[in-house]
Structure 1
Amino acid sequence: MAWEALAVSTGVVALAEMGDKTQLLALLLAARFRRPLPIVAGIVVATVLNHALAGAVGAWLAAHVSPAWLRWGLGLSFLAMAAWMLIPDKVDEDDVRIAPRWGVFGATALAFFLAEMADKTQIATVALTVHYAAPLAVVAGTTLGMLLADVPAVFVGDRLARRVPMRLVHGVAAAIFALLGLATLLGAGVSLGF
């Protein structure tokens, strides 16, 4: 179960991140600072902290909310995520204008942490943690998925972004979330307690 949680979390978040505002933020930070290593380090720290927080919320929900409510809430969350995947993200230039005194690492970590608050991948981390009841595997997977999408953006910039068909990628991610939602609503995982 932990391997499945890790694999699904990694794949879904890597797909969800393609064209997401944090990937766009990575592109902007790379263009502005042109120092990939502190940018990548800032992304790693912010993502681990943000997704660990989301994993903790998911674990708390799984422990304190009745299985019937969890099943319906989780199924509807996945369906909402599917719809949300079809809405293109934009990044505000102000997200990159963090005070220079923070340095490249600090500016990146702060900008990424704030950009991820209540973002698709943070909410997906909560939902996947509830679904799989394997918070460490889910947080590792969602973090790895974020890094798979965002780190290449730091190094190859928008040359890669222009070649990837974002509508197709977002459509695949939306389909995966929709399948997870329908499976949950139709009773998949009932033997797991929800």
Structure 2
Amino acid sequence: MQAFLVSTGVVALAEIGDKTQLLAFILAARFRRPWPIIAGIFCATLVNHGLAGMLGAWITSVVQPATLRWLLGLSFIAMAAWVLVPDKIDEDEAPSAGRLGIFGATVVAFFLAEMGDKTQVATVALAANYASVTAVVLGTTLGMLIANVPAVLIARKVVERVPMKLVHALAALIFAILGVLTLAGVGQGLF
């Protein structure tokens, strides 16, 4: 349960102001049909984070525990710094529905936008940190939905009122704490 809750919270916070949330705004404004967009976000995230989770689990099988602890701790600290850098996306980067339709365009756009993104890297690190890849992937997917569904449904005007610097600072603080705790070996018996 801890893996699920931590994964959900960390990704929900890290995703606010991220390029995929900005992409959700653009898709909602362009297509004005929220449900295919939300379904596309869910499917793309589940596949993308599923692959990231499997990579994280594989890493634990080939890297020595002491080395892994240092890699994970430093990765979480690097994520803390990365989260403080806001993302931008241009409206002309958003796909058109074309032959794929709204759902298909959203799946492709979100899957590609998540490649190498903060939340994908976080999923790899969380899956390597916790023994339950399923809990991590479900948690990170839920975190993506928590951040992106409101972006699709209530649009930019309401979300712009959220103090992004505060949200990014909270996410950075959580990643930094996870990094320090991991480096200190806290909870090693839990993972």
Paired residues of 2:95 and 2:109 also in contact (CA < 8 A) = no
Q: CA RMSD in A?
A: 1.2
How far apart in 1 are the matches of 2:37 and 2:188?
42
Q: Stretches of 4+ moved more than 4 A in 1? A: none
Q: Which residue of 2 aligns with 1:25?
A: 23
**Matched residue pairs, number?**
191
Q: Which residue of 1 aligns with 2:88?
A: 90
* Cα deviation code 1:104-162 (max 9, x no counterpart): 01110000000000100000001011111210000000000000000111010002221
**Paired residue type of 1:15:** L
TM-score of the pair, normalised by structure 1: 0.95
| Aligned partner (choices 136, 139, 145) of residue 138 of structure 1 | 136
Q: Which residue of 2 aligns with 1:156?
A: 154
How far apart in 1 are the matches of 2:43 and 2:82?
26
TM-score of the pair, normalised by structure 2: 0.96
Query: 5+ residue gaps in structure 1?
Result: none
Structure 1 residue 92: deviation in Å?
Answer: 3.0
**Paired residue type of 1:157:** A
* Cα deviation code 1:37-93 (max 9, x no counterpart): 110111011000000000000010111111011001000000000000100101133
Secondary structure of the residue aligned to 2:172 is: helix
Paired residues of 1:74 and 1:181 also in contact (CA < 8 A) = yes
Q: Which residue of 1 aligns with 2:104?
A: 106
How far apart in 2 are the matches of 1:162 and 1:190?
39
**Paired residue type of 1:134:** S
**Paired residue type of 1:41:** A
| Superposition pairs of residues 1-194 of structure 1, within 5 angstroms | 3-98=1-96, 100-191=98-189
Query: 5+ residue gaps in structure 2?
Result: none
How far apart in 1 are the matches of 2:73 and 2:92?
35
How far apart in 1 are the matches of 2:187 and 2:2?
13
**Paired residue type of 2:106:** T
Paired residues of 2:25 and 2:152 also in contact (CA < 8 A) = yes
More off after superposition, 8-17 vs 88-97: 88-97
How far apart in 2 are the matches of 1:74 and 1:175?
16
Paired residues of 2:48 and 2:120 also in contact (CA < 8 A) = yes
How far apart in 2 are the matches of 1:6 and 1:191?
17
Identity %: 65
